[in-house]
Structure 1
Amino acid sequence: MKTVVFSGTTEGRIFSKELAALGADVLVSVATPLGAEEQGSLSGITVHCGRLTPEEMADLLKGADLCVDATHPYAVDATKNIAAACKTAQIEYHRLLRAESPLPAGSMVFQSAMHAAEFLAGTQGNVLLATGAKELAAFSRIDPARLFPRVLPTLDSIAACEAAHIPHKNILAMQGPFSYALNRALMEQFHIRFLVTKDGGAAGGFAEKAQAAQDMGAQLVVLRRPAENGETAAQILARCKEALGWSH
């Protein structure tokens, strides 16, 4: 059985390895070299690296029996394109969901980065942006000197920070997920009053960020997760076992 897994996430890496262990032929598609590096190499798994158009996704799916979308919960466009490509290629599609996190009392929740930025523009104090480089433009109305973006250590991420006029001393280029101790240390070091994050669940280290914010007396600002339908890894693996002829 050939399965294509669109990944670049912790749960995608775990799922693809579990699937390969069952004897499936797994093709993992990741958007960036960093995603390929994290995926690593394993028998039964082939990695395709590079961003794909919906048409290229459909080509990649040719000959596959099943497709699993394990992209990030906030990667709405990617999920839409993958689902459309599966429809075009007439491939069975499954969306792997990441469990949501319970939000601590006192959390401020906004529909988008833009809405969060509107609120922050009327406040004072330093802001730790743990929302990724792609969201930086939304915070352009806030004094860059207040912003401390935590971004991936890639040239594209640094370039996005520079385009947003973030002072170099404010750029925190590192790869997560991060421990409670590191989150707290960064907030203490840079006198953070607001922590802006997505609900990345356990895989994204959400609880460690939330606890650090609470203990440092900082306001937790959460970008609402897009609503979606899907299945757990266990449910999709059961379907894969069925396709492979395994008994439950």
Structure 2
Amino acid sequence: MSILLFGGTAEGHSLARRLAQAGLAVTCSVATAYGEAVLEPTPGLTVHVGRMDADQMAAEMAKGYTCVVDATHPYADRVSENIRRAAETAGLPYYRLLRPREAAEGVLWADSPADAARMLADLPGNVLLTTGSKDLKTFTQVPDYRDRLYVRVLPSLESLSAALDLGYPAAHILCMQGPFPEKLNAALLEAVDAKILVTKDTGKAGGFPEKAAAARSAGAKLLVIRRPTQETGYTLDALYDFLTKGRERL
């Protein structure tokens, strides 16, 4: 049984390693060299590095895989759609790994990064932005973003360059690999005097409970960007069991 797994998330990497350790041949596709670096080497696990468009995905899927697993980020909706369509074209079963949601009280909800940026224009105080480097351009729409926004991004040259190129001051760029404990999140909020923490509904795997708790303890508002779609799929353990116990069916 040979699985093509599109990763880039902690739970995706965990599933890839577990499947390989169970004796399945797994190819994990990640977008960047950083994604490869944080993926622990495991016998039976091959890593493909580089972003793929829909045609490239279809070409890769034609190499004799048994099925396709989509373990990309919950907010990578366009990528997921490309994976789904490519799998359908290739005639391969498609399985979506879901990241369970986490409840939180007193949340300000935004429908998109652009919506969150508009809301920040009407909310006073410094902001700790933890939504990733891909949305940094959208948040330059916030008035005085160079003064108000502190951005936390992955410790990669790609992320740092993106922030600097958009005009974020070096002193306002925090390059760190999460997820982080509540105390560290709270310490960062206090260090930059942030009155608002902006995040996505990243679930437990993405450190959402710790962010929510830190915002409460620091007296900061929690602004959360909703997930783009309502999805169906499998939890990590359920998908692992399905693929390992049901390998004869595939």
Amino acid at match of 1:33: A
Q: Deviations over 1:137-156 (max 9, x none)?
A: 11122212100000111222
Cα drift, residue 75 of structure 1: 0.6
Whole-Å separation in 2 of the counterparts to 1:163 and 1:73: 26
Q: Match for residue 70 of structure 1?
A: 71
Secondary structure of 1:108's aligned partner = strand
Aligned residues: 245
**Structure 1 stretches (4+) deviating beyond 3 angstroms?**
none
The CA deviation at 1:243 is 4.1
Question: 1:145 — aligned with what?
Answer: 147
**What is the DSSP-based 3-state SS (H/G/I as helix, E as strand, rest coil) of the residue aligned with 2:177?**
coil
Aligned counterpart, 2:211? 209
Q: Does 1:232 align with 2:235?
A: yes
Structure 1 match to 2:195: 193
1:115 match: 115
1:162-215 Cα distance to aligned partner (Å, 9 max, x none): 232111111111111111111111111110100000011111111111101001
Which 5+ residue runs of structure 2 have no aligned equivalent?
none
Q: In the alignment, is the contact (CA less than 8 A) between 2:128 and 2:152 conserved in 1?
A: yes
**Residue aligning to 1:241:** 244
Match of 2:88 in 1: 87
Deviations 1:94-124 (A, max 9, x none): 0010100112x21101101111111111222
2:93 aligned with 1:96, yes or no?
Answer: no
Q: Give the 3-state SS of the residue equivalent to 1:35 in structure 2.
A: helix
Task: Measure how far apart 1:22 and its partner are.
Answer: 2.0
In structure 2, C-alpha distance between the alignment counterparts of 1:238 and 1:245, rounded to whole Å:
13
1-structure distance, mates of 2:123, 2:221: 11
User: How far apart, in 1, do the equivalents of 2:49 and 2:59 lie?
Assistant: 14
Q: Counterparts of 1:9-88 in structure 2 under 5 Å?
A: 9-62=9-62, 63-88=64-89
For residues 220 and 239 of structure 1, the distance between their equivalents in structure 2, rounded to whole angstroms, comes to 37
Work out the CA distance in 1 between the residues paired with 2:114 and 2:190.
26
| Partner Cα separation in structure 1 for residue 79 and residue 185 of structure 2 | 29
Distance 2:244 2:40 in 1: 24
| One-letter code aligned to 1:106 | G
CA distance in 2, matches of 1:113, 1:175: 21
Report percent identity of matched pairs.
43
Q: Distance in 1 between matches of 2:237 and 2:211?
A: 27
Cα drift, residue 242 of structure 1: 4.2
Q: 1:182 matched to which residue of 2?
A: 184
Distance, in Å, in 2 between the alignment partners of 1:139 and 1:233 is 32
The runs of 5 or more residues in structure 1 that have no matched partner are none
- Report the AA paired with residue 103 of structure 2: P
User: What TM-score does the superposition give when structure 2 sets the normalisation length?
Assistant: 0.94
